[in-house]
Amino acid sequence: MSKELNKTYDPNDIEDRLYKKWEDNGYFHAEVDRSKKPFTIVMPPPNITGQLHMGHALDNTMQDILIRYKRMQGYNALWQPGTDHASIATEVKVIKALKDQGIDKNDLTREEFLEKCWEWRKEYGGRIIKQLKKMGSSADWERERFTMDEGCSKAVKHVFVKLFENGYIYKGSRIVNWCPVCKTSISDAEVEHEEQDGFFWHINYPVVGEEGRFVEIATTRPETLFGDTAVAVNPNDERYKDIIGKTLQLPCTDREIPVIADSYVDKEFGTGCVKITPAHDPNDFEVGKRHNLEEIVVINDDATMNAKAGKYAGMDRYECRKALVKDLEEMGLLVKVVPHSHNVGTHDRCGTTVEPMIKKQWFVKMDELIKPAVEGVKNGEIDLLPKRMDKTYFNWTDNIRDWCISRQLWWGHQIPAYYCEDCGEMVVSEEEVTVCPKCGKKHMVQDPDTLDTWFSSALWPFSTLGWPDNTEDLDYFYPNDVLVTGYDIIFFWVIRMIFSGYAQMKEAPFKTVLFHGLVRDSQGRKMSKSLGNGIDPLEVISKYGADALRLTLITGNAPGNDMRFYWERVEASRNFANKVWNASRFIMMNLDGFEITTPKKEDLRSADKWILSKFNTLAKDVTENLDKFELGIAVQKVHDFIWEEFCDWYIEIAKVRTYKKDEDKVSANAALWTLKKVLIDSLKLLHPYMPFITEEIFCTIQSEEETIMLSKWPEYNEEYNFPAEEEAIERCKDLVKGIRNVRTQMEVPPSRKAKIIVVSENEAVEKIFEDNKEVYVNLAFASEIVVQNNKEGVAEDAVSVVIPDATVYLPLEDLVDFEKEKERLNKEKEKLAKELKRSKGMLSNEKFVNNAKPEKVQEERDKLAKYEQMMAQVEERLSQMK
């Protein structure tokens, strides 16, 4: 052969070169082709602020496996890539970069700031795409989209206007998550809940008109007291029935608030009395609506107290807390302070504790929009895998709240609402409005807020295909076939895409959602900057190659389950790559200079038919597993087949015939043809998982096809179904394993050959061992093989190995050099005698037994028992020698 593999496998030598070849040849690109069936996956768009982490690596490896598999099956496979503008994350990064240059965001106009954002995106936005390419991701980069490109922006405006006109988008005052540092509302997705040590402050609220009577409440946020508009008790709580309807004096204020009854209150928790602060707590907000309570905002946007806080106005919220608690104590109204550990919401970008606050914002009304998304999963139009995710999904849809979509940021899609500065008229429009339709004046200003990032990514499955225009791509590639994503964003993204698909496209955006778990460290901890336990996928790739990382991430991976990352597993994956590489080199070396032809079926030996039959079953099983998205199970089967059946057994069996090319060309041809065929087909099954090494070997061992990527996926073929030969070779394997075990136990070196006598009274089994001597002669270290139906000629001291339907005998003198073995055993006996004397001496010493640590004494007893057992074995072997 003119081409050959390098002597050693070096991923750094092949990966970048092969990826460039794939891109240059346009193998990843998909165009509408009505003669083919489409298969579409849309990539969850990574943030342009993003740096590749293990979650990205797992997510994109899974997608790449599916897209490569379908591409090889002949589908017109489109993996649609793109990136997300990530409003808050990007704005935080740009503000920091400007600060480092001595520039304050507030010194810039909106246009100037946006210019800086676009510059940042140009410089850093493609970084994660380059990193995904290092992973081998075969996405259609020619179609790469961005959530703020012209097409996506058009889709966002279209949806906003359409939802507004249909009454699903409104502007109103509701509780939102407010970040006092970033000074914007944020989505639930951007709030991280962390366990923090805090306190319950128990405070007495005096009952008006009943001197000396109080209602005791417990709160973790005393500073919100100024926004209290009621105290609620459970209507069935006998302790407080008589005070329902009475009023309380709100401490440190001149206001009185009512006691109301509401079943929201858990009478078993705390004191059973709950302060209601509708403007600063989402649950209190709902209670307030039910009882028409006033909503009093007492905290400013920067987390300082406002004028409603009286003398505490202007203080930071925590300063106010400290001062207020002190004053309550002096007034005799502070009952007690109880340590309390509770979940506190913090902004995932800046770490600031989030303040629930009533704000006038834009919302999407969810109660009607969510219904088709619920039905779609219930009736099976959308499959969530694993199925247990249904419960999580419905838990969220059943408790849906209106979605706050406005953000007080500059980077993002600016809300397409315009206000007349003269008459106050509001116009929502896809096109810019410059003239007021009501008063005719030209003083129109656009709403300064931008849309939540999730608003644009909710449209991702169809906006990336040209919607709202009726494109051919949209008609052909939509809906997507599968979405692959982490279970941690089921609410924030998956559900929003689903309801948006039904609302805008009148059908589900995808047929299947495949959820994967998190990649945790070796101790099972979530990888994080604070713990310093994150592992950079690029570091793994530079050490072991992308294929080894991909195989590690998928091996043992079950849908929805978290996995642990161990460096040892990456080494094992690299070792497997080495095994494949070296086996391929061996096969190619034997093919060199030998013109192989397709053998006649009768020229195939039992071992050839066995491996062809085993592979045939493997191809069927792996295809079924992949169709069921059992990616981890599928690759384990491929790995085990290549390593064990093909490399450890078939190649070793076939060596006998490849070494005798000149003596029996027909047999050698059958073996070499089988070696090449099974290797190439195994590489195809492995390709979706390990694309680089499989491409390099495939393109080196054959010249008919330019890439493995577009080669035909192996299919089950009844012609290669050989159950009889499978049974025969499995029996030979049992024989070899039995003999190897005995030789290991007896410490017989591989160089020492032995006569093998196979005895079976079953005529069919006897024939199998007679006809397949070439299969096991070398593997069993046989000097001679005799197959018979009785024990005639078998020495009494022969070592026996029992296997199904047969017994194998090995003459003892063939296994052991008696004089050398006796010498070795006598030396072992002397050594053990010394150890036994020492150990017995220690244990007969009362001082040692009474004064040493119990575990030390037990350790010595265990040693004595072990030495006695070893001595008995040595003496038994010596007696056999006589």
How far is Cα 755 from Cα 814, in angstroms, rounded to an integer? 7
How far is Cα 55 from Cα 238, in angstroms, rounded to an integer? 52
- pLDDT for res 676: 97
Does 70 carry a binding-site annotation? no
DSSP label of 143:
G
pTM, rounded to two decimals: 0.86
| Among candidate residues 369, 385, 626, the one with its CA nearest the CA of residue 483 | 385
Residue type, 525: R
Computed from CA positions of residues 378, 383, 387, 388, in that sequence, does the dihedral angle turn out positive or negative? negative
DSSP label of 487:
G
Q: Would you say 684 and 711 are in contact if contact means Cβ atoms under 8 Å apart?
A: yes
Burial 851-864 (b: 16+ CB within 10 A, else e): eeeeeebeebeebb
Q: How would DSSP label each residue in 298-353?
A: -B-TTSBB-GGGGGGTTSBHHHHHHHHHHHHHHTT-EEEEEEEEEEEEEETTT-PB
Question: How far does CA 667 lie from the centroid of its chain?
Answer: 47
* Low-confidence residues in the chain, pLDDT < 70: 1-2, 189, 348-349, 529-530, 821, 880-882
Cis bond leading into 448, ω under 30°? no
Computed from CA positions of residues 552, 554, 558, 563, in that sequence, does the dihedral angle turn out positive or negative? positive
How far is Cα 494 from Cα 241, in angstroms, rounded to an integer? 46
Q: Would you say 637 and 749 are in contact if contact means Cβ atoms under 8 Å apart?
A: no
Tens of pLDDT, residue by residue over 463-505, are 999 999 999 999 999 999 999 998 887 777 899 999 999 999 9
- pLDDT for res 1: 45
Cis bond leading into 479, ω under 30°? yes
Tens of pLDDT, residue by residue over 429-447, are 999 999 999 999 999 999 9
Residue type, 502: Y
Instruction: Report, in angstroms and rounded to the nearest whole number, the Rg of the chain calculated over CA atoms.
Output: 37
Question: How far does CA 721 lie from the centroid of its chain?
Answer: 37
| Among candidate residues 254, 402, 270, the one with its CA nearest the CA of residue 338 | 270
Q: How would DSSP label each residue in 493-538?
A: IIHHHHHHHHHHHSS-SEEEEEEE--EE-TTSPBP-TTTT----HH
Cis bond leading into 468, ω under 30°? yes
DSSP label of 104:
-
